[in-house]
Structure 1
Amino acid sequence: MQIVKEALAGTLESSDLLVKVAPAADGRLELVIESEVMRQFGAQIRRVVAETLERLGVTAGLVVVEDKGALDCAIRARVQTAVLRGAGQVQIDWSRLS
């Protein structure tokens, strides 16, 4: 899946996160994560985001995650939503979403 425009999903409320996606200028995938719980859960947040992007077939783009203590299911849902919006997807391949 290719990110063709900027898109957002989520909020900055407690126990949620804001995910921003944008097309890549250089064709690379760049992941930026900021979290209030980075020391405790940073590796897990990065793993969930990376797995979700891989499952969606995203290989290029800028993905910025501002986490406020969200659970894995919320992280997955917000990343999926932002990517689908950024890719301009009208038809959703539900088998790629978990």
Structure 2
Amino acid sequence: MQIKKTGMAGTMESSDINVVVEKNQEKGIKIYLKSSVEKQFGNQIRKAILKTLKELEVTDVVVRAIDRGALDCTIRARVQSAVMRAAMKENEIDWGLF
């Protein structure tokens, strides 16, 4: 899936994550993470973000995430929403994929 514009999903509330995705002018995936639980769960949060991007077939993207203790299901939902908005395909999500 191709990123066409900046997309955002999530809030700064407790147990949520704010995710902003934008096209990477270079090649590859870059993830910038700030989290209140980064020492304990930073690697798991990055894995959840990366797995979701791969499932959506996103290759060249910059992800900026500010986490407030979100569960994996919330992380995945926020990444999916931000990507779909950035790809301008908000109404085309295949719910069976997830």
1:6-41 CA distance string (max 9 Å, x none): 011000001101000111111322111110000000
Aligned twin of 2:84? 84
Aligned twin of 1:3? 3
Aligned twin of 1:18? 18
Q: Quote the Cα distance in structure 2 between the aligned partners of 1:46 and 1:68.
A: 14
Q: Quote the Cα distance in structure 2 between the aligned partners of 1:55 and 1:11.
A: 23
TM-score (norm. length: structure 2): 0.93
When the two chains are superposed, the root-mean-square deviation of aligned CA atoms in Å is: 1.1
The reply to whether residue 48 of structure 1 matches residue 48 of structure 2 is yes
Q: Quote the Cα distance in structure 2 between the aligned partners of 1:49 and 1:15.
A: 16
**Which stretch shows the higher mean deviation, 62-71 or 19-28?**
19-28
Does the residue aligned with 2:53 lie in a helix, a strand or coil? Answer: helix
Paired residue type of 1:92: I
Identity of aligned residues (%): 47
TM-score (norm. length: structure 1): 0.93
